[in-house]
Amino acid sequence: MALDRWIALAFIALVCVYGYAAFFTMDDSLPPILRRNPIWPSTFPKILTILGLIVGLVVLFTPKPKSNAAPKDGAIDLTRLGDYHIWQALALLVLMVAYALTLRPLGFVGSTIGFLVLGSVLLGERRFHILLPVAGIAVGAIWYLVQEVLGIFLRPWPAMFM
Amino acid sequence: MLEGLLIGLSAAISPFNLMMVVMGCLIGTLIGMLPGLGPMSIIAIMIPVAIGIGDPTAALILLSGVYYGAIFGGSTSSILLNAPGVAGTVASSFDGYPMARKGQAGKALTIAAIASFAGGTIGAVLLMIFAPALSSVALLFHSAEYFALMVVGLSAIAAFAGTGQVAKALMMTILGLILGTVGEGALSNMPRFTFGMMELQSGFSFITLAMAMFALPEALFLVMNPARAATGDSGKIDNLRISKDEAKSIAPVIGRQSVQGFFIGVLPGAGATIASFLGYAVERNIATKEEQAEFGKGSIKGLAAPETANNAACTGSFVPLLTLGIPGSGTTAILLGALLALNVTPGPRLMTDTPDVFWAVIISMYIGNLVLLILNLPLIPYIAKILTIPRSFLIPFILFFTLMGSYLGQNNSTELLILVGFGVVATILRFADYPLAPLLIGFILGTMLEDNFARAMQLYRGFGFILERPMTLGLLVLAALLVLLPSFRTYRARKRAEGVADGD
């Protein structure tokens, strides 16, 4: 089964969960006075559930048209997934999660420099004498812009220092 | 209209707003040049900055500057590297790249800039004429019509998604609508589908979703497939001049394509990409035999046509946004989200309630186009240097900006985890060739759609409004036709291909 069908299947599953909540659990907490309303908070989700199921099933069961179009230049060809730098991409995703988790405890400066440097190293950069100053200057400039110009508080140092 | 123009002029000419136009155009050009990063990603990245400014006029001016800059930057990489940064500039590479190969890169860039300028400016004039007329009609609309109009918009976006894609686009639209229902609704303040999580109480943030749908997958694709980012020598760019004869030959092309591009841009879902391809095809068909042979080998007409059309279409796509409050493309959907965050509700009342915003945007379109022509063009040889920045530097920065953008919106690091989660889903969806713009448009329109639907239901005590208001019924029928006709045609074509008679 092609990937797009799997996605359609996952979508149908999602709609089923959503629809279950809309049809069976949501209305229980509705105050009696609101029940006299022609529209309930669950009305729109119910309509979406029905439409979603129809469209999902259409995508799932429509035979795929034979495409003669040449693959687009630079597009990702799923059959050659192994040839791509998929591990680099996954590692970057992990790094992003790590950044999300360390932003508060480590402070903006530390976690951001870490993210930029590790990200570049992951992609094969080894010129640390360029990398470190670039990351440092960028972090300083962005912190200043966010904190001073935009006026959004961004804790620069680890929590224990500030 | 003259009064409005003066209001806009006085707002847009302020030094701060002028700076915003210049900054927006430059940033847009710089980032738009990077292959793979389209205007949607760039605008999504710039939104926190725009919201941080706080003044809706300045913010919208900045964002539209970024939009124009991105389209222009995309043409630059199309011409120099044959690596379009934006789908709307793919057609520009057909003739632009051969010209650059022949050593006429400078000339090609000049033609692109002039065509963009003319397309954008003529588009702005048309916008100025049509938007007020359309919004005076739109003032007659009730919530029932708004509801129906949004349904038409959403189905048109799906219908224009391309053959075999209609059902997929619809699926993405519905997914967007579903995501839009998460959180507290305006209807009853009852949290819906939050599964008890506090973070979801106010729903998903649209900036996070926009970043996750566009910027993140693009960056990941650049990592996975280095061929996409054809970095390298941008060549020598000199001799930006074009001759009088050349100017004369592209003038009619520019005239025709400005108008055609604008009206294609107004249609929901069509947008710059279709306008540029159609513009190219039309100009090739009406050219003389000798000129036709030139197309694809470095014809100046073949470059001017898509360049004019895509800029005019960008301007055209502002019409439904500013007059009806309904975005017709992913980019304008992101702009709509930014406006809502700034407490400006685009729609027919925009012109009467906040005329300064409306007219300042139009004026800034002229200024933006002028900035692109007189500031960016001479700077292009230097700006093009950005194409030589190694990928290993660029990608961590792009990722960092997406993270920062969604963090600043909410000041909450859970948002970053949501971003990564949605980003992974979006990347998988991109692998399977699902269009993502409908998802975002559905998400942004979802709340408004439900509000108008609820209001109509309450006014008419049920579904009666569909039958009692002929215009609503008409629009809903149109929406159904828009979705069903392409599907029906695909079905017929398939039957015919299989050699089975289909009974008529």
pLDDT tens figures, A73-87: 445 566 666 667 788
pLDDT value of residue B186: 64
- Alpha-carbon distance of A74 to B25, in angstroms, equals 27
Is 50 exceeded by the pLDDT of residue B100?
yes
- Alpha-carbon distance of B451 to A19, in angstroms, equals 20
With a pLDDT cut of 90, the percent of chain B lying above it is 5
- Residue B351 Cα distances to B3, B334, B354, B357, angstroms: 12, 20, 6, 8
Mean pLDDT of B127-140: 82
pLDDT value of residue A158: 75
- Alpha-carbon distance of B365 to B17, in angstroms, equals 12
- Residues 233-252 on B with a CB inside 8 Å of A are none
The reply to whether B178 touches chain A by the CB within 8 Å rule is yes
Does residue A72 lie within any of the structural domains? no
pLDDT value of residue B337: 84
Residues in contact with A140: Cβ distance below 8 Å, sequence separation at least 6, in sequence order: A109
With a pLDDT cut of 90, the percent of chain A lying above it is 22
pTM of the predicted model as reported, rounded to 2 decimal places: 0.80
- Domain range for A50 is 3-64
- Residues 181-220 on B with a CB inside 8 Å of A are 181, 185, 187-188, 190, 192-193, 220
The count of other CB atoms within 10 Å of the CB of residue B63 is 26
Contact state of A59 with B167 under an 8 Å Cβ cutoff: yes
Among partner residues A4, A29, A76, which is closest to B224 by beta-carbon distance? A76
Confidence of residue A88 (pLDDT cuts 50, 70, 90): confident
Tell me the residue type at B33.
Answer: M
Is 70 exceeded by the pLDDT of residue B210?
yes
Chain B nearest CA to A38, separation (Å): 5
Q: How many CB pairs under 8 A join A and B?
A: 178
Contact state of A100 with B424 under an 8 Å Cβ cutoff: no
Mean pLDDT of B302-307: 88
Chain A nearest CA to B252, separation (Å): 32
Whether residues A95 and A125 share a domain: the answer is yes
The tens digit of pLDDT for each residue in B46-59 reads 887 888 787 888 88
| Count of domains forming chain A | 2
Does residue A124 lie within any of the structural domains? yes
pLDDT value of residue B152: 87
The dihedral built from the CA positions of residue B281, B287, B293 and B297, taken in this order, carries a sign that is negative
Chain A nearest CA to B407, separation (Å): 9
Least confident of A146-155, B11-20, B429-438: A146-155
Contact state of B396 with A30 under an 8 Å Cβ cutoff: no
Confidence of residue A19 (pLDDT cuts 50, 70, 90): very high
Question: Token match 């035979």: residue?
Answer: A63
- Residue B326 has, within 13 A of its CA and on its CB side, a CA count of 27
CB B351 within 8 A of CB B135: yes
Whether residues A56 and A96 share a domain: the answer is no
Contact state of A41 with B168 under an 8 Å Cβ cutoff: no
Whether residues A93 and A147 share a domain: the answer is yes
Mean pLDDT of B38-44: 78
pLDDT value of residue B346: 82
Mean pLDDT of B143-149: 87
Chain B nearest CA to A155, separation (Å): 11
Whether residues A24 and A56 share a domain: the answer is yes
Does residue A76 lie within any of the structural domains? no
With a pLDDT cut of 70, the percent of chain B lying above it is 91
Whether residues A40 and A100 share a domain: the answer is no
Whether residues A92 and A157 share a domain: the answer is yes
Contact state of A59 with B52 under an 8 Å Cβ cutoff: no
What angle, 0 to 180 degrees and rounded to 10, lies between the N-to-C axes of helices B391-410 and A128-144? Answer: 20
pLDDT value of residue A49: 94
Which of A3, A6, A7 is the best substitution to test chain B (most B C-beta atoms within 10 A)?
Answer: A7
Report the chain A residue with the minimal C-alpha distance to residue B158: A55
Listed in sequence order, the DSSP H helices in B225-374 are: 244-266, 271-286, 289-294, 300-316, 318-324, 330-341, 350-353, 355-371
Confidence of residue A122 (pLDDT cuts 50, 70, 90): confident
Does residue A22 lie within any of the structural domains? yes
The tens digit of pLDDT for each residue in B438-460 reads 888 888 888 888 888 988 888 88
Is 80 exceeded by the pLDDT of residue A89?
yes
Contact state of A96 with B433 under an 8 Å Cβ cutoff: no
Contact state of A48 with B490 under an 8 Å Cβ cutoff: no
Confidence of residue B206 (pLDDT cuts 50, 70, 90): confident
Contact state of B450 with A44 under an 8 Å Cβ cutoff: yes
- Alpha-carbon distance of B417 to B466, in angstroms, equals 42
* Chain A CB contacts of B52 below 8 Å: 146, 149-152
Contact state of A152 with B434 under an 8 Å Cβ cutoff: no
Least confident of B75-89, B125-139, B299-313: B75-89
Chain A nearest CA to B206, separation (Å): 18
Which of A5, A60, A79, A93 is the best substitution to test chain B (most B C-beta atoms within 10 A)?
Answer: A93
Does residue A77 lie within any of the structural domains? no
User: How big is the CA angle at A26 (ends A20 and A29), to the nearest 5 degrees?
Assistant: 155
Chain B nearest CA to A56, separation (Å): 6
Contact state of B178 with A86 under an 8 Å Cβ cutoff: no
Is 70 exceeded by the pLDDT of residue B80?
yes
Q: Which of A86, A120, A73, A10 is nearest to B427 (CA)?
A: A86
Does residue A56 lie within any of the structural domains? yes
Among partner residues B164, B177, B190, which is closest to A65 by beta-carbon distance? B164
Confidence of residue B231 (pLDDT cuts 50, 70, 90): very low
Report the chain A residue with the minimal C-alpha distance to residue B434: A4
Tell me the residue type at B367.
Answer: I
Among partner residues A55, A134, A150, which is closest to B171 by beta-carbon distance? A55
Does residue A33 lie within any of the structural domains? yes
Whether residues A103 and A144 share a domain: the answer is yes
The count of other CB atoms within 10 Å of the CB of residue B137 is 11
Does residue A101 lie within any of the structural domains? yes
pLDDT value of residue A54: 93
The tens digit of pLDDT for each residue in B172-202 reads 999 999 998 888 776 667 778 877 777 777 7
Report the chain A residue with the minimal C-alpha distance to residue B390: A125
Tell me the residue type at B264.
Answer: I
Report the chain B residue with the minimal C-alpha distance to residue A44: B450
Is 70 exceeded by the pLDDT of residue B208?
yes
Confidence of residue A69 (pLDDT cuts 50, 70, 90): very low
Two structure tokens written together for B28: 């847009």
Which of A5, A76, A127, A129 is the best substitution to test chain B (most B C-beta atoms within 10 A)?
Answer: A76
pLDDT value of residue A83: 66
Mean pLDDT of B322-330: 81
The reply to whether B425 touches chain A by the CB within 8 Å rule is no
Q: Calculate Rg over the CA atoms of chain B.
A: 22
Reported ipTM: 0.87
- Give domain limits for chain B: 2-498
Contact state of B416 with A100 under an 8 Å Cβ cutoff: yes
* Chain A CB contacts of B435 below 8 Å: none
Whether residues A59 and A94 share a domain: the answer is no
The count of other CB atoms within 10 Å of the CB of residue B461 is 11
Chain A nearest CA to B273, separation (Å): 15
Report the chain B residue with the minimal C-alpha distance to residue A18: B193
